[in-house]
Structure 1
Amino acid sequence: MNPTQQLLLNTFILFLAVCFGIYQLDSRLEQFYVFNLPQLKEISSAAIAQHGNNTQAIADSIVSALRADDKIAPYLSVKEEWVFNNAGGAMGAMYIIHASITEYLIIFGTAIGTEGHTGRHTADDYFHILTGTQLAYAPHKAPYTPEVYPPGSIHHLVRGEVKQYKMDDSCFALEYARGWIPGMLPFGFGDGLSSTLDFPTLWATTRLTGKEMIGNLLIGKF
């Protein structure tokens, strides 16, 4: 076997090993999750019921409830920091509550409305609508009918699927993603690198995301 053939063989073996490792880890992702969906639903619904259309009070109530859980509190961000988010042609703002390799939990939304492409992701994404209404459109499912998500509902974007979505004049959600989060990052940075060229926002997003991911990794949470 000549050196070129040996290099190709070694590369192929490495590729198979990486694929097998990802497959094995993917089947065990559940054990790394901090949050569970019934709890997030319960906390969100309680906050909406208590505070109505007061988005600030709803968000504060959700974060306070999470911090009161001793099993979750160590993995939450220390303070509330907002940053613009441009992705898939849509623009809003987000506050990162938690970010790791396998999960993120954010408050995402806009006070003036937006519309764009959801992206096709390596994680399941759950939008718990807090205030306002989100519309989604999936022509392969219903070519003439929008999906409508009012406050208290959950819009589940299944891993690998894609939709068009719209948030009305003022709409905010508790967004929870679980799966391979690094695979979602190129979508989150794409607009900033190719169209807006808003490098201060890109840096702020990188700093906040990296701080949370690395911090959680150091305390043993993937």
Structure 2
Amino acid sequence: MAKAKPAQQSSFGKWPIIGAVLIALYALCSFLDSNVHKFYAMTPEALNNAVQTSLSASRAAGQDKNATYVVDTLLSNLVKTYPELDLQTDFRNPREWVFNNAGGAMGSMYIIHASITEYLIIFGSAVGTEGHTGRHTADDYFHILTGQQRCYAAGDLAPLIYNPGDVNLMPRGVVRQYWMDGETWALEYAAGWIPPMLPFGLADMLSSTLDYISFYHTCRITAREMVKNLLRGKI
């Protein structure tokens, strides 16, 4: 007598489990996103105060056009502002600088702080650049130190213009085209979820410039700082 074949388990039974997992993940992400500000160690107001103090000191010394002097003064002020953070201040070390190609723009950056919810960098170009800002998961505060930045959103017929001391705030989700004059340098502070921003900052090095050395050093420095801060309890 032939044995009866066991009834195949319906795949319908898997969908409630998958749906429950997706709902739980969505609830977790929503909870974390609504509380992300609790992980911040820096504030735009304190950073802007450090920038303004540094620019005033640079002007008084007749060095406001000297980017090296301005950055050096700023980093000293940032260490005083946030003594509890292990900020990177060795900006004269060329191994700590990396080229960054993103959204068609090319610049150079120095990472002062990087964690899961914040980064603080010096970014700019000695010869000028322009491109796409990207659409990000963090609010971005671009403090102009030297030079000039211009940007606009689709539909704007005149640019927004930012000079030394000005702050270009890019709320998360906002996208613009931007242009930077030669010898434009800025203190850039991003507050939000940083890991989802990384593909935008790395993709061009893999797909167009093929600059694998810059890719390696960007990953090396970013990972070093994020892991270091995680070990210090800074998310």
Q: TM-score range by the shorter chain?
A: over 0.9
Check if 1:66 corresponds to 2:95. Answer: no
Which residue identity is paired with 1:10? I
**1:155 and 2:168 matched:** yes
TM-score by length of 2: 0.89
Task: Return the match for 2:90 from 76, 79, 95.
Answer: 79
Match status 1:217 vs 2:224: no
- Residue 133 of structure 1, CA deviation: 0.3
Q: Which runs of 5+ in 2 are unaligned?
A: 1-7, 59-63
- Please, what is the CA RMSD of the aligned residues? 1.5
Q: SS of the counterpart of 2:172? A: coil
2:70 partner letter = I
User: Are 2:46 and 2:81, in contact at CA under 8 Å, matched by a contact in 1?
Assistant: no
Q: In structure 1, what is the Cα distance between the partners aligned to 2:23 and 2:90? A: 42
Which residues of 2 match residues 49-60 of structure 1 at below 5 A? 49-51=56-58, 52-60=64-72
Q: Within 1, Cα distance between the matches of 2:56 and 2:89?
A: 26
Secondary structure of 1:73 counterpart: coil
Bigger Rg, which one: 2
TM-score of the aligned structures, taking structure 1 as reference length: 0.94
- The aligned counterpart of 2:4 is none
Q: CA 1:78/1:61 → structure 2, altered by over 3 Å: closer, same or farther? A: closer
Over the matched positions of the two proteins, sequence identity in percent amounts to: 48
1:17 equivalenced with 2:32 (yes/no): no
Any gaps of 5 or more consecutive residues in structure 1?
none
Which residue of 161, 174, 189 maps to 2:202?
Answer: 189
Work out whether residues 128 and 153 of structure 1, in 8 Å CA contact, stay in contact via their aligned partners in 2.
yes
1:33 Cα shift? 0.7
Structure 1 residues 169 and 147, CA gap change in structure 2 (3 angstroms): same
